Amino acid sequence: MKRTDVVKIKIDYEGFLHEVETFPNEYRSLMALIFDRISPDDFGDCLGMGKCATCLVQIKNQHHPLTTFDRNEQTTLKKHGILEDGFRLSCQLQIDENLNNLQVEIIRP
């Protein structure tokens, strides 16, 4: 039987667009999915504690509703000089149906 809760996410990494499919709660966060499926260098150094900002992504379709853990995120973004809207720590984004059709770009520090 075909699953109906597929979450499709487009991830731009170094100019290449990865189209990945997952399910709610298959990964504990968007960072964990990116780490597993794309494995960017030096990504997710603090393992999702919201402190290192190496999992930074830019949201390309910003009207998207996102579910967040919101643990340390604002403090960490400010500490790294990231003050504009649309930049998020992917470790703080839960994989759920709200991420369906999300497009992000991995931003290197």
Beta carbon of residue 108, minimum distance to ligand FES (angstroms, whole number):
14
Judged by CB under 6 A, does residue 46 bind ligand FES?
yes
CB-nearest residue to ligand FES: 91
- Of the candidates 109, 100, 82, the one whose C-alpha atom is nearest the C-alpha of residue 30 is 100
Judged by CB under 6 A, does residue 57 bind ligand FES?
no
Query: How many CB atoms lie under 10 A from the CB of residue 61?
Result: 11
Judged by CB under 6 A, does residue 48 bind ligand FES?
yes
Nearer to ligand FES, 5 or 45 (CB): 45
Judged by CB under 6 A, does residue 51 bind ligand FES?
yes
**Token pair of 108, please?**
């290197």
Residue matched to tokens 């930049």? 87
Judged by CB under 6 A, does residue 88 bind ligand FES?
no
One-letter identity of residue 21:
E
Give the strands of the sheet with 87-89, arranged side by side: 16-22, 7-13, 102-106, 56-59, 87-89
**Token pair of 46, please?**
């603090």
Total binding residues toward ligand FES, as defined by CB under 6 A: 15
Judged by CB under 6 A, does residue 106 bind ligand FES?
no
Residues that bind ligand FES (CB under 6 A): 31, 44-46, 48-55, 76, 89, 91
